[in-house]
Amino acid sequence: MPKAWKHPKLGAFAASDSGWSTTAQVPAFKAFGYTGRGKARRSTGEVSLGIHYFTMNAQVPETPPPEMVALLDKVLADPQALVDKVVAALWDDFNGRGPDSGIWWHGDIATVNKSLKADDLPPPKDARDLLSALHLSSIIVFNEWWDYPAPIVYLEIHAAFESEHGVSILTNVDEILGVGFSGEATLWKHLRPERPPPRNPFV
């Protein structure tokens, strides 16, 4: 059973059945300026931080494993770099470049622009222009993900162009590993492990 834990720089993390959580002010995350339709578009840089186990009934230790803490520390060592990677990945996806998220917006910047216009936001001219349409609400280090058997960083984002479902992003901090709807991000197709064909039970 996890116990309350104190990070040397971030302070106290509350414990739950799945792990540990807190909130923090990260100035670099003020760049994600979207706060919702009809509201002033400003951000304080406050974000929820978590270290959690992905599966229910997981054997969660009393304190966070060092490798998961190290991944969270890596995020916060250079948060501006993460900001840049997020908008670059989305911008490429909107313009049909790089890995395909499989989401409606891949290669469909025209529809993205229509969605932003409905929210009184101008069409983006480059990746940095997407910041006014995004709000980073939480960062969670999971011990694993569906097809990723190692610690991974999950980002939860409110987005003006996808107000219904929101956006989630997977990363190892060095690179973006996948993009999807909130809670549904999957690894880029080329990163997913190949699954053997099902065995014929009659042979």
Selection from 152, 151, 194, 143 nearest residue 177 by Cα = 152
Q: How confident is the model at residue 203 (pLDDT cuts 50, 70, 90)?
A: very low
DSSP per-residue codes, 132-162: GGEEEEEEEEES-BTTB-S-EEEEEEEEGGG
3-state secondary structure of 46: strand
pLDDT, tens digit, for every residue of 16-38? 999 999 999 999 999 999 977 65
Predicted local distance difference test score (pLDDT) of residue 41? 53
Q: What is the pLDDT of residue 202?
A: 56
Tokens of 54: 């992905």
Amino acid occupying residue 109: I
Q: Check residue 196 and give its pLDDT.
A: 61
Band the pLDDT of 40: cuts 50, 70, 90.
Answer: very low
Mean pLDDT of the chain: 92
Phi first, then psi: give them for residue 199, nearest 5 degrees: -75, 140
pTM: 0.92
Confidence of residue 197 (pLDDT cuts 50, 70, 90): low
Q: CA distances (Å), 165 to each of 22, 79, 113, 155, 176, in order?
A: 24, 25, 17, 14, 20
24, with CB counted inside 10 A (0-12, 13-18, 19+), is: middle
pLDDT tens column, 59-106 = 999 999 999 999 999 999 999 999 999 999 999 999 999 999 999 999
The CA dihedral of 21, 24, 28, 29, to the nearest 10 degrees, is 60
How far apart (Å, rounded) are the C-alpha atoms in residues 169 and 85? 11
Distance from C-alpha of 18 to C-alpha of 170, rounded to nearest angstrom = 19
User: How far apart are alpha carbons 32 and 44 in whole angstroms?
Assistant: 9
- The DSSP symbol for 37 reads T
